Amino acid sequence: MKIMIDAGHGPNTAGKRSPDGSLREFQFTSAVAEYLEEELNNYQGVQTSFSHDASRRIDVPLIERTNRANAWKADLFISIHANAYTGRWHTGGGIETYVYTTRPKEALELANKVQNELIKATGLRNRGVKSADFHVLRESNMTAILTECGFYDNKEELALLKKDSYRRKCADAICKGIVDMYNLKRKQMVKSANTSTPSKTGEYKVQKTIGGYITAADAKAKRNKKTNVTKGSYYVYKRASGMINVTKKKGVPGSWINPADNKQQSTTKTFKVRVKSYELWYYNKPDWNAKKDTFKRGQEFTVVETLTVNGSKMYKLSNGNYITANPQYVQKL
């Protein structure tokens, strides 16, 4: 099942922020999107992708978002938003979930499940499932829902929207709704990691000092590094999205690391490249079919290896992803 996760708006979208300017809607939606990705990747047969800019730098137009989902042939489109009424402080609030005006049966059922989980998890007012002629609901070819997870022009809900624990709660609730609807099964590996006997999860050796992150999504993107994880032996607390949470205290969460960081110094010399084309596909393994998302023109990466895949050259990047080595699209720096 391919799930396109859509964090509403972008870092520069006009309006779309709290009346006091302290929160942009995208700060909330992009964080929930990453937690949702992390959570969904614990389930068998699930592939996720972002329709927004994963590097949080660019506003992706709506048409591009639905084009991406349609081209990728996503099965689900999950759009995450927070709400605003007039843009001035008010006391109205709560959560609502939208489907397209034709109220497609599957979308409606999913929306009801997600809405109920969100209300259960947050305790906010239930504004119900509604229908609207929103672009992402209309132009996406697959089952699509849009959630409005509270109002940022309501002072109490704004405080919640800023909280990491609330963002996580929303992501978990949306995930639960999807899991229930499609009867998704947790991956075996994670099942054992979550039991109260962490002895099953094993040990992990860190070869050199590497970055430690708060979320698996951050570790994967090598962004928001929070600490250093020094050389030594660790317990594995949890695994998600290919990332590992390592800890010195068995059963107690530690830091997320990117196992790619832990590889011994490669003998090949690394170099930097810059994306030349407007958008460039990247792949999560050395396979031209393993499209994950796109990078944007001007983004720079470190190449750690050059491989030949089906006769065409591919770069392996230090962030664990792969891109084409075609100089038409990528410039060696």
Q: How far apart are CA 14 and CA 48, in angstroms?
A: 28
Q: Which stretch binds Zn ion (CB under 5 A): 3-11, 152-160, 172-180, 292-300?
A: 3-11
Residue 177 in contact with Zn ion, rule: CB under 5 A = no
With vertex at residue 131, the alpha carbon angle to CA 125 and CA 137, rounded to the nearest 5 degrees, is: 115
Clarify whether 156 is annotated catalytic. Answer: no
Question: Closest distance between Zn ion and the C-beta of residue 270, in Å?
Answer: 40
Helix (H, G, I), strand (E, B) or coil at 333: coil
Mark 39-78 with x for binding to Zn ion (rule: CB under 5 A) and - for no binding: ----------------------------------------
Question: Closest distance between Zn ion and the C-beta of residue 148, in Å?
Answer: 7
Residue count, binding to Zn ion (CB under 5 A): 2
Closer CB to Zn ion, 13 or 312, in the complex: 13
Q: Length of the chain in residues, anyone? A: 333
Considering the candidates 34, 39, 96, 148, report the single residue annotated as catalytic. Answer: 148
The backbone torsions φ and ψ at residue 255, rounded to the nearest 5 degrees and listed phi first, read -110, 145
Question: Quick one: which of 8, 94, 104, 211 contacts Zn ion (CB under 5 A)?
Answer: 8
The backbone torsions φ and ψ at residue 78, rounded to the nearest 5 degrees and listed phi first, read -115, 110
Residues ≥6 apart with Cβ < 8 Å to 46: 1, 3, 40, 184
Q: How far apart are CA 164 and CA 216, in angstroms?
A: 14
Question: Closest distance between Zn ion and the C-beta of residue 83, in Å?
Answer: 7
Helical ranges in the chain per DSSP H: 25-40, 62-72, 105-122, 135-138, 155-161, 164-182, 188-194, 216-221
Question: Quick one: which of 52, 65, 68, 81 contacts Zn ion (CB under 5 A)?
Answer: 81
Question: Closest distance between Zn ion and the C-beta of residue 197, in Å?
Answer: 43
Question: Closest distance between Zn ion and the C-beta of residue 144, in Å?
Answer: 15
| Residue (of 49, 84, 42, 44) closest to 67 by Cα position | 49
Contact positions vs Zn ion (CB under 5 A): 8, 81
Q: What are the residue numbers of the active site?
A: 148
